[in-house]
């Protein structure tokens, strides 16, 4: 797949590690667990959005934009990283924050919210859960235009056919690393949220004829809603390469969201704690913690077996962990 045809800004030097987790593998008494450390990507704490922003910001610059506008939930990793990319490019960045859990926004909160202010966010607009986020961002964009600026709107999670290219690139990176290590991958498991990471990986592995299945763990929606989101994004991304992506290979796993997006579950607490105590790797409660709890659940159900090689894609998010410390008791 020819990614060089698309403009790209490189924010990370080299590849992120693909590591075997021996202690965790032993603790779970299941398949061989590997981890793709995209929590080690560049920009203010790293995370999967950095890969998407390499293509999104390049597209913005190609269009002559001088201001970035994006949106996300309270403690949004995507907002943190979009703001960080804007800082690198010398551009102002405006954020629209959706208060999905009523009363959850606190302008003095720690975690990502603290980092918004450290990096000099141009403005934060808070809207109620369920708001039309594109409409809210368009309103901000119009204000920027009236002041003579050229805004570029990035959708939530950076998940569109431009941002998703970042995870087509990641799939190709994993393929190269697996070849170098002599690793035959049976499954790749990732968080399935706004959709760009899941869709990009699926397109990347399929488009490169690896037949490696990608299993997405839902962290916000049921399958009836989530699968169409992933398929739509994957289809649009594959079309940029002149390919027709098959809907049947999209796999989303539900049952790990709990009472709602960003709300704690016992399985998430177990997953975050187990990863920290066996491998000294930090997951976050909203995304990677719930996704990894899904991987643990699938192992216990017998979906993944001893001898198989499973790669878990760590999409970052640990800066938000400190905001949610009460989820973990003492």
DSSP secondary structure, 137-184, as one string: HHHHHHHHHHTT--EEEE-GGG-STTTTHHHHHHHHHHHHHHHHHT--
Neighbours of 263 (CB within 10 A): 16
291 CB-near residues (< 8 Å, 6+ apart): 189, 190, 191, 192, 217, 219, 256, 312, 315
Q: Which two tokens stand for residue 325?
A: 């410390």
On whether the CB atoms of residues 226 and 187 are closer than 8 A, the answer is no
On whether the CB atoms of residues 14 and 91 are closer than 8 A, the answer is no
123 CB-near residues (< 8 Å, 6+ apart): 94, 95, 140
DSSP secondary structure, 79-103, as one string: HHHHHHHHHHHT--EEEEEEESSTT
Q: How far apart are CA 244 and CA 203, in angstroms?
A: 10
92 CB-near residues (< 8 Å, 6+ apart): 66, 67, 68, 86, 122, 149
Q: Which two tokens stand for residue 77?
A: 């990793």
22 CB-near residues (< 8 Å, 6+ apart): none
Q: How far apart are CA 271 and CA 293, in angstroms?
A: 5
Catalytic residues: 76
Q: Which two tokens stand for residue 210?
A: 């690896």
Smallest CA-to-CA distance from 113 within 44, 51, 162, 194 is with 44
């Amino acid at each position: 797949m020819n990614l060089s045809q698309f403009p790209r800004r490189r924010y990370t030097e080299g590849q992120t590690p693909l590591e075997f987790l021996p202690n965790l593998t032993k603790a779970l008494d299941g398949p061989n667990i590997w981890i793709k450390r995209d929590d080690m990507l560049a920009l203010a704490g790293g995370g999967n959005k950095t890969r998407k922003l390499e293509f999104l910001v390049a597209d913005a610059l190609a269009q002559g934009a001088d201001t970035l506008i994006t949106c996300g939930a309270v403690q949004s990793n995507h907002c943190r990283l979009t703001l960080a990319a804007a800082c690198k490019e010398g551009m102002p960045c405006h954020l629209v924050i959706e208060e999905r859990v009523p009363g959850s926004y606190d302008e003095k909160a720690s975690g990502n919210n603290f980092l918004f202010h450290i990096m000099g966010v141009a403005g934060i607009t808070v809207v109620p859960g369920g708001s039309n986020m594109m409409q809210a961002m368009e309103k901000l964009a119009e204000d920027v235009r009236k002041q003579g600026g050229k805004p570029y709107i990035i959708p939530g999670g950076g998940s569109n056919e431009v941002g998703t290219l970042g995870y087509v690139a990641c799939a190709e990176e994993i393929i190269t690393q697996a070849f170098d290590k002599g690793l035959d991958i049976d499954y790749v498991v990732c968080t399935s949220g706004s959709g760009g990471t899941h869709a990009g990986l699926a397109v990347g592995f399929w488009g490169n004829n690896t037949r490696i299945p990608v299993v997405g763990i839902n962290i916000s929606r049921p399958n009836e809603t989530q699968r169409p989101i992933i398929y739509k994004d994957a289809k649009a991304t594959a079309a940029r390469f002149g390919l027709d992506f098959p809907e049947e290979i999209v796999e989303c796993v539900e049952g790990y969201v709990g009472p709602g997006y960003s709300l704690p579950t016992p399985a998430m607490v177990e997953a975050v704690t187990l990863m920290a105590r066996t491998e000294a790797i930090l997951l976050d409660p909203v995304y990677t913690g719930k996704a990894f709890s899904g991987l643990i659940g699938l192992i216990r159900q017998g979906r993944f077996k001893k001898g198989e090689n499973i790669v878990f894609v760590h999409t970052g998010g640990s800066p938000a962990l400190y905001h949610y410390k009460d989820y973990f008791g003492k």
